[in-house]
């Protein structure tokens, strides 16, 4: 997306206005290539906005190719002008990594399962294949009740994955990339409404037969082959999903 297209948003949501200000400051060399932007806390204080607004603004800069997020370091400027285009899918994967870092997955069980017909259908695999099965509860820091119950299936060729234990803040797909030199190219997501069965509701400390959200993600490699399949079940009152759709074309006035 060009700089002109970014500027064309004019007045809009607060995060867009903040992103535009930061873009101008990068473009004018107030923040040079290689510099770190102020922390989220500092930006909140400087602009008098919420943490959500700051994160969404920085996300705009990431999507423009101006900034990269470095876990444990901050947001670093890597270009003075927006890239010609960006891949929304990769931006989404970055957001999933951020989500994993801001929560923790407490592993409760790992096993190598021989797929039964129901599992094979879910994974578009063959009955009898052996997939690594990981189960756990995801928590938000400071919250005693779990955010969701997560089941992850890892493809047979990666079933020797190590480091999956205890409390994890690193995404599983990142472990796979590090240990097996694979690269996640795309994530396919599906969300459904559901009713929580009594057994699952008890694990989630939620009322039986209450509303829930079933969120499934398929992590695909560069050959479009399934690497990881993750299903998370959330009590409906503990999770919401937000996605912004942005116009990325210009109207030519006659």
Going from N- to C-terminal start, the domains of the chain cover 3-86, 103-238
CATH number of 103-238: 3.40.1410.10
Nearest alpha carbon to residue 56 among 103, 96, 95: 95
In this chain, the answer to whether the domains covering 3-86 and 103-238 adopt an identical fold is no
CA–CA separation, 238 and 246 (whole Å): 27
Q: How far is CA 87 from CA 8, 65, 179, 235, 246, in A?
A: 20, 10, 25, 31, 14
Residue 24, Cα to own-chain centre: how many angstroms? 27
Nearest alpha carbon to residue 99 among 59, 153, 46: 59
Coil, helix or strand at residue 178: helix
For residue 63, the model assigns a pLDDT of 75
Coil, helix or strand at residue 121: helix
CA–CA separation, 134 and 162 (whole Å): 12
For residue 3, the model assigns a pLDDT of 38
Nearest alpha carbon to residue 100 among 186, 184, 169, 175: 169
Helical (H) or strand (E) element with 55: helix 51-63
Convert the pLDDT of each residue in 10-45 to its tens digit: 445 788 889 889 998 998 889 999 999 999 999 999
What is the maximal distance between C-alpha atoms in the chain? 64
**Other CB atoms within 10 Å distance of the CB of residue 79:** 15
Convert the pLDDT of each residue in 153-189 to its tens digit: 999 999 999 999 999 988 999 999 999 999 999 899 9
Helical (H) or strand (E) element with 203: helix 198-203
Please tell me the class of the 3-86 domain: mainly alpha
Residues of the chain with confidence (pLDDT) below 50: 1-11, 84-91, 254
Coil, helix or strand at residue 206: coil
Q: Are 173 and 185 in contact (CB under 8 A)?
A: no
């Amino acid at each position: 997306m060009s700089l002109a297209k970014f500027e064309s948003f004019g007045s809009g949501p607060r995060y867009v206005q903040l992103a535009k200000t930061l873009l101008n400051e990068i473009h004018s060399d107030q923040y040079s290539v290689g510099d770190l932007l102020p922390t989220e806390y500092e930006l909140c204080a400087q602009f008098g906005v919420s943490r959500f607004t700051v994160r969404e603004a920085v996300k705009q800069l990431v999507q423009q190719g101006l900034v990269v997020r470095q876990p444990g370091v901050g947001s670093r400027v890597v270009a003075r002008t927006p890239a010609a285009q960006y891949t929304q899918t990769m931006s989404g994967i970055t957001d999933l990594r951020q989500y994993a870092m801001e929560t923790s997955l407490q592993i409760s069980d790992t096993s190598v399962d021989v797929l039964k017909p129901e599992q094979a259908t879910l994974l578009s695999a063959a009955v009898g294949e052996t997939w690594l099965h990981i189960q756990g509860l995801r928590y938000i820091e400071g919250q005693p009740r779990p955010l969701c119950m997560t089941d992850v299936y890892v493809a047979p060729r990666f079933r020797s994955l190590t480091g999956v234990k205890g409390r994890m803040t690193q995404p599983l797909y990142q472990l796979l990339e590090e240990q097996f030199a694979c690269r996640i190219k795309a994530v396919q997501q599906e969300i459904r409404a559901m009713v929580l069965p009594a057994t699952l509701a008890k694990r989630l400390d939620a009322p039986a037969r209450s509303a829930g959200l079933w969120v499934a993600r398929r992590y695909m490699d560069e050959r479009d082959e399934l690497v990881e399949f993750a299903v998370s079940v959330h009590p409906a009152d503990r999770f919401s999903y937000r996605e912004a759709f942005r116009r990325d074309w210009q109207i030519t006035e006659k």
